[in-house]
Structures are given as C-alpha cells and as structure tokens.
Structure 1
C-alpha cells in the first residue's frame, strides 16, 4: 500500500461524511439493530479502529484510543470528521515512520484490551485491517441510509469521477 492509495480511501469517506451532514439528527442517531446500531456510532467505531491499531498499537501515541459512550452520545458529524482527521494523521505518521519497516513485526499487548495477551502484527497488516474494516462498516452505513429512506451516494473507489480521483 502506498500513501497516495490512502487518499482514495479518504475521498470515498468524505463522500459518505458529506451525505451524513444532510441527515436529520434523529436519523443520524437512530438505532437500526445492526452494525454499531446507528450511523453515528458506526462512524465513530470506524475512526476508533484507526486510533486503536495505528495511533495506540503501532505509534504508542495514546493509551486510551477508544472514546467512552458518554462522549460518543453527544458527538455531531463535525466531531466525527475531526476524529477521522486525527486518524489520518496517524496513517500519515505510520507511512513516514515505518517506510522501511512496514512489514516488521510489532509484538506487544494492546492498551485498550487489557489482559488480551500479546499481539504480533506489522504496521502494514494493521493499516490494511483498518481500511478493510472501514469499507466493511461503510457498507453497513450505506444499508442504514437505505433503510432510513435516503439514496446513498456512490462511495466505491471506482465510483470516483476522473476529477475527484487523486493519482
């Protein structure tokens, strides 16, 4: 994976975040019984994955990468946008600091799963996991939008127009 490829991930994410800005507040937080229940909670969970695996495990920038429920419950779309922007900083830092060590194993316990034992993963594996995790949950959010009566915008990388596509 190369840094410019992550730009595609950010572009498709922004399409979804922009559409979420148009949702009625009750729709943004409505619990739908799958994913992480609501659009809001699922978005926070997705960003939290980057914070946990990259910000905490790989970079050791935080020991409390996941937000408590009382914080999540008051988050608005702009707060979530900021949470993703910090996740993007972690991704950029991983690319910079691990350019020559992208596939070197890191072995330690996670700060957020105390007692879970030693985890052995490379920065490359954890970046790919975070991205595939995001796309998995993005599919759930798109399904949530449909259930709420919205027509989801195309958030597939292949759906980017030539103008939007960063090379």
Structure 2
C-alpha cells in the first residue's frame, strides 16, 4: 500500500479525534476517569494511557528508537495533564513523520518483536503502519463507549467528518 495520502490523513484523523476526546475527558473528575469500569484497560485513563503507549511503541520501532516500556497496560502518566501534553506532542510527531513516508520504505519487510507475546515477526512495513492507525481507532472506539456510559457525547467520530482544515 503506497498511497501516502492515506497515512497523512490517518495521522490527522488521529490528532482530531484525540483532541475531541481529551477535551471531553478534561471535564471528568480524575477519580471518575480512573474508575475501573471493566474495560480492557480498566478505565478511561487506562485506555488513554494504552493509546499513547501503542503510538510510542510503534513510532519507536519505525524511527529506530525503541520505546523501553514493554508492558502494554503500564501507566505512562498518572497525571492527566502530563498524559495530555505527551499525547499532543506524539500526535504532532506522527503527523510530521507521515508527511515524509516513502513508498520504498513502506514496501520493505519490517522486523520487530511484539511486546504482547515477545515473538519476533517480519511483516510488510505498510501493514504495520496501517496497524498502528487501526489500533488507535479500535481503542478510541472503546473509549467512546466508556464516555457514552458516563453520559458524554463524543459527537461524530467517522473519518468523512474530519474537518476540512486538515486537508
């Protein structure tokens, strides 16, 4: 898959959605954000942490700067504002990175070791980059469910509603 605009669009979608969701989450008391709701990463805060973890892990691999935390459920930041700041920085990094992707790199095999099962795999780079964006969407879906259960409406989250100022 060498449609480079796809990756730029997904990076922008990632930032847009994260901004929307963090804005909602900022209004939720910390104790409620951290309440164990039985979700895969327990809480809203846990899910936000995991989303950041996934992006840091994949970007570390892609940039050749391994992310040293290997436990997928480890809390990166207990403080919401620190988590939010790192999220914003990471989103900007992903956008800039996506603008510089090259078809030759995307078509190459990519070797990595999973933090989940510790198995080493070699897969097409384009597939793993696509996975990073799919992973974001998957867990943001879990997050919007948790927010909805608390009565917060995240609004429309579909890609075609990405604001025009992103294009």
TM-score over 0.5 (shorter chain): yes
Closer, same or farther in 2 for the Cα pair 1:107/1:91, shift >3 Å?
Answer: farther
Q: Number of residues paired by the alignment?
A: 160
Residues 51-97 of structure 1 deviation map (CA, whole Å, 9 limit, x = unaligned): 11221x2222134045784654x231x22223323433256336526
Task: Report the equivalent of 1:100.
Answer: 104
1:15-34 pair list within 5 angstroms: 15-34=20-39
| Residue matched to 1:131 | 133
Q: Structure 1: any 5+ residue segments left out of the alignment? A: none
Q: Which residue of 2 aligns with 1:12?
A: 17
Q: Within 5 A, what are the aligned runs for 1:1-167?
A: 1-2=4-5, 3-5=7-9, 6-55=11-60, 57-66=61-70, 69=74, 71-72=76-77, 74-76=78-80, 78-88=81-91, 89-90=93-94, 92-93=96-97, 95-96=99-100, 98-110=102-114, 112=115, 116-162=118-164, 165-167=165-167
**Superposed displacement of residue 99, structure 1:** 4.9
Higher mean alpha-carbon deviation, 4-13 vs 86-95, is at 86-95
Contact preservation (8 Å) 2:36, 2:42? yes
How many Å separate the matches in 2 of 1:102 and 1:38? 35
SS of 1:107's equivalent?
strand
CA drift at 1:45 = 0.5
Q: Distance in 2 between matches of 1:48 and 1:59?
A: 15
Report SS of the residue matched to 1:100.
helix
Distance 1:103 1:87, change over 3 A: farther
With the length of structure 2 as denominator, give the TM-score of the two structures. Answer: 0.78
Rounded to whole Å, the distance in 2 between the matches of 1:22 and 1:146 is 14
Q: Which whole-Å CA distance do the structure 2 matches of 1:151 and 1:7 have between them? A: 21
Q: Does structure 1 retain, via aligned residues, the 8 Å contact 2:34–2:44?
A: yes
Secondary structure of 1:135's aligned partner? helix
The 3 A distance-change label for structure 1 pair 54 and 122 is: farther
